[in-house]
């Protein structure tokens, strides 16, 4: 039917261009998804999937069970599916598309009867052949089968009889099964259960060697690993390790896993160990070369950072950076190591040139100001049950709040560096609203030592 005709019949018809590539990709995904039923699945473009269930049906309670489950699963995932089970791929193809029932199981050896009444279109023939068959009055497969062979071949070509023989099972037909991207996995079944750390380490080394070889063949590196240890009592322990960059250096990976050996509870012994790469990433050859060079600095550091992250957790390894904030306790930030360091010092960094202590008391500790000099500088103060006499001061340095961040109660702080009689230097401040500290009732805090 032409689109114009269809539109005339149904004005609100929505028409979309066919997305052949998209359909094909979706079909491939569907074919791979079907691998839960059988390891051999193949695409039958444009709209079919072949599943070779030889030897698999009993796992689902026989052929009926399998078909029922397959149909149910397809329906649940939103597909309208027609299923057919037959001796040959050709027969299944024909029955699935042209039989009356949406789910059909052709018993072994009975496909000739099932096919006989189906139209010739079901034989996967070129359009031209079909129209010529129809012109001479051959409409069903049964008619084709009954007709004499030699004139058929002469008139319609070899393809007709080949398709017929394939559907009948007289001519073999090879499907090209799809294979999902294989996981990188290595495992060892141990003759004697092992329980010592040394033995476990040896097995890990073997597994890592195998993994690295297969990663090399695939030009990939591991980003995440899972080591599964099966104990004699059936208990399975899993150890996960991650890397910050794709790695296939056996030394690096072995070291990552060896660190975690102490977490494994061997119990009465481990009888199977499997190492799986749970996340892979393409690894260019040049990167690997850099790692092999002893002189470069970056590679050992990534190895160390990975080990640290695995040991304490990613959120506990960080870099220290400065922020464009005025109040000193907020002027630094901890950023994850994976984030590159911002270059330079923020222009609005707190105390760009003014002295700052290397360590801050968090939160600032209140001090009792006993006496001040006439210009407001501290003279005698008490902190942690000690009284300090000030013999020299430096300051004050007025630090304003970030006015752009919204109103705060105390807008300014006056910081003083004070030296006591012992030569200790304290960083004291008093907060005020910007008009200078109140002469007698100002609160003082110690923010750090120099």
Q: Which C-beta is closer to other proteins: that of 169 or that of 351?
A: 351
Q: Record the tokens describing residue 406, joined without a space.
A: 């919204």
Q: Which C-beta is closer to other proteins: that of 280 or that of 309?
A: 309
**Binds other proteins (CB under 8 A): choice among 68, 116, 337, 443:** 337
Q: How far from 189 is each of 110, 194, 211, CA to CA, in Å?
A: 46, 11, 16
Alpha carbon distance 214, 184 (integer Å): 7
Number of residues that bind other proteins (CB under 8 A): 66
- Contact flags string 403-422 toward other proteins, x per CB under 8 A: --------------xxx-xx
Name the packing angle between helices 250-258 and 298-312 (round to 10°).
20
> Does residue 233 interact with other proteins by CB under 8 A?
no
Alpha carbon distance 88, 166 (integer Å): 7
Q: In angstroms, what is the minimal distance from the CB of 298 to other proteins?
A: 8
Stretch that binds other proteins, among 32-40, 92-100, 143-151, 378-386 (CB under 8 A): 378-386
**Binds other proteins (CB under 8 A): choice among 374, 406, 407, 435:** 374
Alpha carbon distance 44, 28 (integer Å): 10
Q: In angstroms, what is the minimal distance from the CB of 204 to other proteins?
A: 17
Q: In angstroms, what is the minimal distance from the CB of 278 to other proteins?
A: 24
- Contact flags string 22-61 toward other proteins, x per CB under 8 A: ----------------------------------------
**Beta pairing partners, 281:** 221
Q: In angstroms, what is the minimal distance from the CB of 439 to other proteins?
A: 14
Q: Which C-beta is closer to other proteins: that of 90 or that of 378?
A: 378
Stretch that binds other proteins, among 104-112, 123-131, 332-340, 400-408 (CB under 8 A): 332-340
Q: 23-61 b/e with 16+ CB inside 10 Å = b?
A: eeeebeebbbebeebbebbbbbeeebbbbebeebbeebe
Sorted by sequence, the CB contacts under 8 Å of residue 164 that are 6+ apart come out as 123, 141, 144, 145
Query: Which residues from 338-367 bind other proteins, rule CB under 8 A?
Result: 341, 345, 349-351, 353, 355-362
CA proximity to 350, closest of 395, 397, 407, 419: 397
CA proximity to 283, closest of 359, 387, 211: 211
Query: Which residues from 387-406 bind other proteins, rule CB under 8 A?
Result: 388, 391-394
> Does residue 127 interact with other proteins by CB under 8 A?
no
User: What's the CA dihedral at 49, 55, 56, 58 to 10 degrees?
Assistant: 140
Q: In angstroms, what is the minimal distance from the CB of 199 to other proteins?
A: 22
Strands 103-105 and 83-85: parallel
Alpha carbon distance 329, 363 (integer Å): 8
Q: Record the tokens describing residue 9, joined without a space.
A: 């019949």
Strands 220-231 and 270-282: antiparallel
Total residues belonging to the chain: 450
Q: Which C-beta is closer to other proteins: that of 138 or that of 390?
A: 390
> Does residue 328 interact with other proteins by CB under 8 A?
yes
Q: In angstroms, what is the minimal distance from the CB of 366 to other proteins?
A: 15
Query: Which residues from 259-318 bind other proteins, rule CB under 8 A?
Result: 259, 297, 299-301, 303-305, 307-308, 311-313, 316-318
DSSP symbol at 140? B
Q: In angstroms, what is the minimal distance from the CB of 310 to other proteins?
A: 10
Alpha carbon distance 175, 24 (integer Å): 17
> Does residue 321 interact with other proteins by CB under 8 A?
yes
Stretch that binds other proteins, among 91-99, 122-130, 203-211, 328-336 (CB under 8 A): 328-336
Alpha carbon distance 261, 200 (integer Å): 7
Q: Which C-beta is closer to other proteins: that of 285 or that of 353?
A: 353
**Beta pairing partners, 403:** none
Where along the sequence are the contacts to other proteins (CB under 8 A)? 259, 297, 299-301, 303-305, 307-308, 311-313, 316-323, 328, 331-334, 337, 341, 345, 349-351, 353, 355-362, 373-375, 377, 379, 383-384, 386, 388, 391-394, 417-419, 421-426, 448-450
């Amino acid at each position: 039917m032409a689109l114009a005709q269809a539109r005339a019949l149904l004005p609100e018809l929505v028409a979309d261009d066919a997305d052949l590539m998209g359909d094909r990709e979706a079909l491939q995904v569907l074919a791979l998804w079907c691998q839960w039923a059988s390891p051999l699945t193949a695409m039958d473009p444009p709209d079919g999937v072949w599943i070779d269930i030889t030897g698999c049906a009993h796992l689902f309670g026989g052929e009926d069970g399998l078909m029922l489950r397959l149909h149910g699963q397809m329906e649940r995932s939103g597909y309208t599916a027609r299923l057919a089970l037959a001796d040959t791929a050709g027969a299944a193809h024909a029955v699935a598309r042209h039989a009356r029932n949406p789910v059909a199981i052709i018993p072994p050896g009975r496909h000739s009867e099932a096919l006989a009444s189906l139209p010739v279109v079901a034989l996967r023939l070129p359009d031209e052949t079909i129209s010529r068959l129809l012109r001479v009055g051959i409409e069903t497969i049964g008619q084709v089968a009954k007709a004499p062979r030699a004139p058929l071949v002469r008139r319609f070509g070899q393809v007709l009889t080949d398709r017929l023989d394939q559907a009948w099972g007289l001519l073999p037909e090879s499907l090209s099964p799809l294979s999902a991207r294989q996981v990188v996995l290595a495992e060892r079944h141990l003759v004697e259960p092992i329980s010592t750390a040394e033995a476990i380490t040896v097995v890990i080394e073997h597994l890592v060697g195998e993994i690295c070889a297969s990663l090399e063949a695939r030009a990939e590196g591991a980003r995440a690993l899972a080591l599964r240890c099966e104990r004699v009592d059936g208990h399975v322990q899993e150890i996960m390790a991650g890397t910050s960059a794709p790695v296939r250096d056996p030394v690096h990976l072995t070291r990552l896993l060896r660190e975690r050996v102490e977490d494994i509870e061997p119990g009465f012994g481990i009888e199977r160990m499997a190492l799986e790469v749970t996340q892979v990433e393409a690894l260019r050859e040049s990167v690997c070369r850099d790692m092999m060079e002893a002189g470069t600095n970056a590679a050992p550091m990534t190895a160390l950072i990975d080990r640290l992250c695995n040991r304490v957790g990613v959120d506990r390894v960080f870099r220290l950076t400065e922020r464009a904030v005025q109040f000193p306790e907020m002027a630094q930030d901890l950023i994850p190591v994976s984030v590159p360091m911002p270059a330079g010092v923020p222009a609005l960094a707190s105390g760009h040139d003014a002295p700052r202590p290397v360590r801050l008391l968090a939160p600032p500790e209140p001090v009792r100001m006993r006496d001040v000099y006439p210009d407001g500088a501290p003279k005698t103060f008490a902190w942690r049950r000690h009284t300090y006499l000030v013999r020299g001061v430096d300051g004050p340095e007025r630090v304003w709040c970030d006015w752009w961040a919204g109103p705060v109660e105390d807008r300014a702080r006056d910081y003083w560096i004070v030296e006591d009689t012992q030569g200790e230097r304290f960083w004291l401040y008093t907060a005020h609203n910007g008009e200078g500290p109140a002469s007698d009732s100002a609160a003082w805090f110690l923010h750090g030592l120099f």
